[in-house]
Structure 1
Amino acid sequence: MTGGSTGAADPYRLDGRVALVTGAARGIGAAVVARLAALGCRVAAADLADPAGPAGPSGWEAEPPPGEGHTRHRVDIRSADSCAELVAEVLAAHGRLDHLVNNAGVVRRGPAAAMTDEDFAEVVDVNLTGTFRVTRAAHPALRASGGASVVNLGSTNGHIAVPDTLGYCLSKAAVMHMARVLALEWAPDGIRVNAVAPTIVRTAMTEDVRADAAYVRDKLASIPLGRMAGTADVANAVAYLLSPAAAMTTGHTLFVDGGAVIH
């Protein structure tokens, strides 16, 4: 692919392309996998959860997308070796890699003054350094693609100061800025890099705060459109930024937030 076109009439289609999605077992990652597959992409879905293990809260909640050619992989993005092995598996299975979605992440809540070194380090290691590890490992394959694209999952928490989530806020601000730096460095390689930053999404990661009626009331009051983002909202934004329709878009963060960052 050159010049941002697959040769298809519809610039939003991803036919013949291969995408790697991390954190794909559930929630936003599972929605992204399903959306990319629906657009004709072959998807390598990766997660810390073992694809051969039992389904459930700690396993793969989503069924594989319909169609042939999709694969599932286990990866621990806290390990550079695991990230390199993942990319090698994807290339062995698919022969190429055109798109990367860095969705894997964790959150630890609590006041900054009481946060332990271990909790802070874990969030930064997974959300920020883990994103870097996967992206670095994927770079040679993406460069060989001839028109690759990367999307990092950020958050409105990376733009707006939110209490009791210091490590998460800082890590998400960093992966959004990482997209800008890599967009600059990798433009000569034909690789676009962007970020998507949703507001609160109805997933397992937000189950605890969504159980707090006062929190939900205040949160929705801060969103002009008055609702949470759905996983489909996020998946559609990711698919757009990966697609040829966004061929001249790089180094940007697309907020999927109902207007929350207007304030």
Structure 2
Amino acid sequence: MSERTGDPNRFDGRVALVTGAARGIGARIAATLAVRGATVAQADVVEPDRWAADELSAPHSRHVVDVRSAASCADLVAAVLDRHGRLDLLVNNAGVVRRGPAATMSEQDFTDVLDVNLTGTFRMCRAAYPALRAGGGSVVNIGSTNGHIAVLDTLGYCVSKAGVMHMARVLALEWAPDRIRVNAVGPTIVPTDMTSDLRDDPDYLAAKLATIPLGRMAGEQDVANAVAFLLSDAAAMTTGQTVFVDGGVTIH
């Protein structure tokens, strides 16, 4: 529980690292964890002066990371430990998408998506493992409903998100003796820059919303709330699970 309040939903005294935190879902997750008491290290591939999100004030920090590089991931963890002294929580949110029919998709587009979304998540988990093991940590990978159901023209993205959700199960099993919990969150479509092209197509959006029983897109805060729950002591007996923040998409 929180070192200061005893509230299992709080993160006082803990340090969280969120990748892909320059904007969108990652920025909202970082802000949510900060509100709940965590010291947050935000990381993204773009330089901090190009971030869209409002900067969290000290003691929070901003870092540059390229999850396509094992050395960059290791350097990030070292920088967080140097700055904050510990690492308790990891959110693997960095991700990209390439759309197009599988038959005409280039190998480069396919492997680029896997390198960031899937292998990048592995690199960050591996780099963070020693620090997380030191105190018994918690990890959340950002998956997608696309990793559970088949979606046209997004082969690499679908496969990568299926992978990060299954990675959570495998790591949960391997790391349970180290008191590290690993879970995933799988959102449906969220109104972010990544989905702007889809949302600009009224026919697509109407068809997409028709598949969501609750009838709306997931908000960034919906996703952040689910991530915060899984990271927190309120979910102390939850590991290896994927929580779908999807308004019911995956139940039918």
Same fold, TM-score > 0.5, yes or no: yes
Equivalent of residue 205 in structure 2, options 197, 201, 216: 216
Equivalent of residue 45 in structure 1, options 42, 60, 70: 42
CA distance in structure 2 between the aligned counterparts of 1:139 and 1:173, rounded to whole angstroms: 22
Equivalent of residue 64 in structure 2, options 63, 74, 77: 74
Question: Which residue of structure 2 aligns with residue 28 of structure 1?
Answer: 25
CA distance in structure 2 between the aligned counterparts of 1:254 and 1:163, rounded to whole angstroms: 23
User: Quick check: 205-214 or 7-16, which moved more?
Assistant: 7-16
SS of the equivalent of 1:217 reads helix
Question: Which residue of structure 2 aligns with residue 114 of structure 1?
Answer: 104
Question: Which residue of structure 1 aligns with residue 176 of structure 2?
Answer: 187
**Is 2:81 the partner of 1:91?**
yes
Question: Which residue of structure 2 aligns with residue 168 of structure 1?
Answer: 157
What is the TM-score when the length of structure 2 is the normalising length? 0.98
Deviation per residue, 1:100-150 (Å, 9 max, x gap): 0000000000000000000000000000000000110000000002x3100
Structure 1 stretches lacking a partner, 5+ long? 54-58
For 1:62, the aligned partner's letter is: A
Question: Which residue of structure 1 aligns with residue 192 of structure 2?
Answer: 203
Question: Which residue of structure 1 aligns with residue 56 of structure 2?
Answer: 65
Deviation per residue, 1:208-238 (Å, 9 max, x gap): 0111101100000000000000000000000
Question: Which residue of structure 2 aligns with residue 142 of structure 1?
Answer: 132
In the TM superposition, residue 70 of structure 1 has moved relative to its aligned partner by 0.1
In the TM superposition, residue 65 of structure 1 has moved relative to its aligned partner by 2.5
Identity of aligned residues (%): 71
Structure 2 stretches lacking a partner, 5+ long? none
Deviation per residue, 1:28-87 (Å, 9 max, x gap): 000000000000000000000111x3xxxxx30111235x31000000000000000000
SS of the equivalent of 1:85 reads helix
CA distance in structure 1 between the aligned counterparts of 2:158 and 2:13, rounded to whole angstroms: 36
Question: Which residue of structure 1 aligns with residue 2 of structure 2?
Answer: 6
For 1:176, the aligned partner's letter is: M
**Number of aligned residues:** 251
CA distance in structure 2 between the aligned counterparts of 1:186 and 1:107, rounded to whole angstroms: 29
Equivalent of residue 257 in structure 1, options 239, 246, 252: 246
CA distance in structure 1 between the aligned counterparts of 2:30 and 2:240, rounded to whole angstroms: 23
Equivalent of residue 16 in structure 1, options 7, 13, 17: 13
**Is 2:231 the partner of 1:235?**
no
For 1:256, the aligned partner's letter is: V
In the TM superposition, residue 6 of structure 1 has moved relative to its aligned partner by 3.0
CA distance in structure 1 between the aligned counterparts of 2:186 and 2:238, rounded to whole angstroms: 15
CA distance in structure 2 between the aligned counterparts of 1:165 and 1:37, rounded to whole angstroms: 33
Question: Which residue of structure 2 aligns with residue 56 of structure 1?
Answer: none
For 1:60, the aligned partner's letter is: W
